Amino acid sequence: MKAIVKTSDGGPEVLKLSEVETPKPKSNQLLINVKSTALNRADTLQRKGLYPPPMGESEILGLELSGVVEEKGAAVKGFELGDRVFGLVSGGAYAEYAIIDYRMAMHIPEDWSFEKAAAVPEVFFTANETLFKLGSLSCDESVLIHAGGSGVGTAGIQMANNAGAKVFITTGSNQKIEKAKMLGCTEGINYKTHDFAESIKNLTEGKGVDVVQDFIGQPYFEKNCSILKPNGRLLIVGLMGGTEAEIDLGLILRKRLQIFGSIMRPLPLKEKISITQRFVDRWLPLLKTGVINPVIDTIMPLEEAHEAHQHMESNGNFGKIILRI
Chain residues binding ligand NAP by CB under 6 A are 40-42, 122-123, 126, 147, 149-152, 171-173, 176, 191, 215-216, 237-238, 240-241, 262-264, 312, 315, 317
Residue 172 or 230 with smaller CB distance to ligand NAP = 172
Residue 60 or 152 with smaller CB distance to ligand NAP = 152
Question: Do residues 32 and 67 make contact, with C-beta atoms less than 8 angstroms apart?
Answer: yes
Minimum gap (Å) between residue 153 Cβ and ligand NAP: 6
Minimum gap (Å) between residue 35 Cβ and ligand NAP: 20
197/325 Cα distance (integer angstroms)? 43
Phi, psi angles (nearest 5°) of residue 216? -105, -40
Residue 25 or 153 with smaller CB distance to ligand NAP = 153
Minimum gap (Å) between residue 288 Cβ and ligand NAP: 22
Element holding 170 (H helix, E strand): strand 166-171
Q: How far, CA to CA in Å, does 241 sit from each of 119, 130, 265, 273, 318?
A: 25, 19, 20, 30, 19
Measured from each CB, the residue nearest to ligand NAP is 238
Minimum gap (Å) between residue 243 Cβ and ligand NAP: 12
Which residues partner with 26 through β-bridges?
Answer: none
277/296 Cα distance (integer angstroms)? 24
182/157 Cα distance (integer angstroms)? 10
Residue 27 or 174 with smaller CB distance to ligand NAP = 174
Residue 81 or 263 with smaller CB distance to ligand NAP = 263
Q: Is the dihedral of CA 133, 278, 289, 85 positive or negative?
A: positive
Residue 162 or 262 with smaller CB distance to ligand NAP = 262
87: alpha, beta or left? (left if phi > 0; alpha if psi -120 to 50) = left
Residue 20 or 240 with smaller CB distance to ligand NAP = 240
C-beta atoms surrounding 308 within 10 Å: 26
Minimum gap (Å) between residue 25 Cβ and ligand NAP: 25
Which residues partner with 85 through β-bridges?
Answer: 67, 107
Q: Is 79 helix (H, G, I), strand (E, B) or coil?
A: coil
Minimum gap (Å) between residue 30 Cβ and ligand NAP: 23
Minimum gap (Å) between residue 280 Cβ and ligand NAP: 18
Minimum gap (Å) between residue 303 Cβ and ligand NAP: 21
| Residues 6 or more apart whose Cβ sits within 8 Å of residue 16 | 4, 5, 6, 7
Residue 162 or 315 with smaller CB distance to ligand NAP = 315
Element holding 312 (H helix, E strand): helix 305-313
